Structure 1
Amino acid sequence: MRASTLAKTAAAIAATAVSGSVATDPSSSWYRSLRKPRFQPPSSVFPIVWTALYADIALSGAAALDRLEERSQPRERRRYLRALTANLLLNAGWSWLFWRSRRPWIAAAECALLTASSVDLARRTARIEPRSGAALVPYALWCGFATVLTTAIARLNPRA
């Protein structure tokens, strides 16, 4: 894996993480007033999980992009880069829809799109670099869990 590719994917991930962090406020009175499902993890779990997943996305994405470049597949590389970029935009967007817009149902729908995008990204990556694709499966699963969790919060709080 080339350091320059990893630096670029890491920068994109960092921008995604910062954008999401700026929007997120679990100490807000709005969020504290929401009813949450019993399977809601403690708040301390989220930064730990997301940090690991973000590192995984940066490494797996860089590996796939480099492999496509080694194979002289610029068209496929551009397609992969578009899929990765769309995924990261969806990732950051959830925080803004849920935390800042305070629209749990819209955030749940957007999270379902993020899950589909994450599954697609893992599939695309596996075709290029099988181990890196397998490494993205936890990300897709976590996004699926986030969709279920966000939907449950929306159901429990119809007026939110």
Structure 2
Amino acid sequence: MKKSYYIVYPAVAVGVGALSGLITRQSVKEVFPLLEKPPLSPPAAVFPIVWTALYILMGVGLAAVKNKGGPGVKRAERLWWVQLAVNFAWTLVFFLAGAYFVALLVLLLLFGLAAAMTAAFDRVDRPAARLQAPYLIWLAFAAYLNAGIWLLNR
């Protein structure tokens, strides 16, 4: 068992999230507050808290899968990296490009990848897969918010 995985992978995921936040900081501060938002939109302060928790769960899940070992680990890890890259891309498309419909399509792709990652985790380590449930729920909610912003701001 490599305990370092429980530090490295959450740190990588949080780092990717922090980098996307840094890159989009100005747009988040200047443009996002001006957008019409759908009902149930949380305050802006909620997003970094939720995303940090989700990135940690994502990283802990991969650490558990890698520590468990066996068939399916490589596929699970590949899906983890791909969905993390698409997660990063969504932030740029939504906040920097302001392409809300395209961002919604990227988010739907991300949801599919996260679901596939969760299924791959489940084949190796069920508790690791269960840690991804909040991520999938949040992505579904994010799709609602993204769709609402697109529809309200066309």
Q: How does 1:3-152 map to 2 (within 5 A)?
A: 3-25=3-25, 26-28=28-30, 30-68=31-69, 71=70, 73=71, 76-152=72-148
Instruction: Note if contact 1:16-1:91 (Cα within 8 Å) is conserved in structure 2.
Output: no
TM-score (norm 2): 0.90
Aligned CA RMSD, in angstroms, stands at: 1.5
2 CA distance for matches of 1:78 and 1:127?
Answer: 12
* CA deviation after TM superposition for structure 1 residue 3, in Å: 2.1
2 CA distance for matches of 1:23 and 1:113?
Answer: 22
Instruction: Note if contact 1:104-1:150 (Cα within 8 Å) is conserved in structure 2.
Output: yes
Q: Which amino acid aligns with 1:106?
A: V
For structure 1, the residue ranges without an aligned partner over 5 or more in a row are none
Instruction: Note if contact 2:10-2:57 (Cα within 8 Å) is conserved in structure 1.
Output: no
The percentage of aligned residue pairs carrying the same residue is: 26
Instruction: Note if contact 2:118-2:132 (Cα within 8 Å) is conserved in structure 1.
Output: yes
For structure 2, the residue ranges without an aligned partner over 5 or more in a row are none
Question: Any idea what SS the aligned residue of 1:3 has?
Answer: coil
Question: Any idea what SS the aligned residue of 2:38 has?
Answer: coil
TM-score (norm 1): 0.87
Q: From the superposition, tell whether residues 131 and 64 of structure 1 become closer, same or farther in structure 2 (CA, over 3 Å).
A: same
Deviating beyond 6 angstroms after TM superposition, the runs of 4 or more aligned structure 1 residues are: none
* CA deviation after TM superposition for structure 1 residue 119, in Å: 1.3
